[in-house]
């Protein structure tokens, strides 16, 4: 396998993994009410409340809030549907670098900027929305873990670009 083919294959594998995680992250935003009930049941069955009561209390509080919103104000959950949709749309954008990485490196760089942007969002909006700091740290970890594969992809695209760059021949001597 040539260096170019190896770089292209590596880029595509990393992008596919990133897109799968992005799609899964988005898809889980649709059934939040049911997921929280399931999560609460699983935590109880694993005796988590005895070891991490703050986590269990937070999950219970969020589940109760979602139950109330779902019963009394279901239109509020429409916002999480849009969140899920945004994840799916962003995932589709990564088809560009999958198809032509060098020409579409900007999509990868845009994704990296979005990952960095998660941190100030969590630090600013978390306290405003009364989110526990430790939960904001979990949210920020998505940006940290998300930027890693994108950084690897960007580096590989730069190597691919160097491999495919036209070489300039010396001018003929007259």
pLDDT digits (tens, 9 = 90+) for 81-137: 999 999 999 999 999 999 999 999 999 999 999 999 999 999 999 999 999 999 999
Angle, helices 105-128 vs 78-93, to 10°: value is 160
Question: 11: which 2 tokens?
Answer: 């880029």
Across the range 59-82, mean pLDDT stands at 95
Give the torsion sign (CA, 44, 48, 53, 56). Answer: negative
Q: What pLDDT is stored for residue 165 in this prediction?
A: 76
Across the range 28-38, mean pLDDT stands at 94
Give the torsion sign (CA, 21, 27, 33, 35). Answer: negative
Q: What is the DSSP letter of 75?
A: G
Question: 45: which 2 tokens?
Answer: 């069955």
The answer to whether 123 and 138 have CB atoms below 8 angstroms apart is no
How far apart are the C-alpha atoms of 139 and 124, rounded to whole Å?
12
State which H helix or E strand residue 119 sits in: helix 105-128
How far apart are the C-alpha atoms of 166 and 159, rounded to whole Å?
14
Q: What pLDDT is stored for residue 169 in this prediction?
A: 58
Across the range 37-43, mean pLDDT stands at 95
Q: What pLDDT, in 10s, does the model give residues 134-162?
A: 999 999 999 999 999 999 999 999 999 99
How far apart are the C-alpha atoms of 25 and 83, rounded to whole Å?
10
State the average pLDDT for the chain.
94
Question: 72: which 2 tokens?
Answer: 């009394």
Q: How confident is the model at residue 1 (pLDDT cuts 50, 70, 90)?
A: confident
Q: Per the confidence metrics, is the pTM higher than 0.75?
A: yes
Across the range 61-87, mean pLDDT stands at 96
């Amino acid at each position: 396998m040539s260096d170019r083919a190896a770089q292209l294959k590596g880029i595509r594998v990393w992008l596919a993994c990133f897109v799968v995680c992005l799609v899964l992250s988005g898809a889980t935003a649709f059934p939040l009410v049911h997921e929280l009930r399931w999560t609460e049941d699983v935590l109880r069955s694993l005796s988590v409340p005895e070891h991490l009561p703050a986590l269990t209390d937070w999950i219970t509080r969020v589940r109760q809030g979602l139950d109330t919103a779902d019963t009394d104000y279901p239109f509020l959950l429409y916002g999480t549907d849009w969140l899920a949709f945004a994840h799916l749309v962003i995932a589709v954008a990564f088809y560009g670098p999958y198809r032509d990485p060098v020409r579409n490196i900007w999509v990868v760089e845009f994704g990296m900027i979005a990952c960095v942007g998660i941190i100030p969002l969590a630090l600013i909006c978390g306290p405003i929305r009364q989110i526990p700091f430790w939960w904001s740290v979990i949210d920020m970890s998505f940006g940290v873990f998300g930027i890693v594969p994108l950084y690897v992809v960007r580096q590989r695209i730069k190597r691919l670009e160097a491999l495919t760059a036209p070489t300039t021949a010396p001018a003929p001597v007259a």
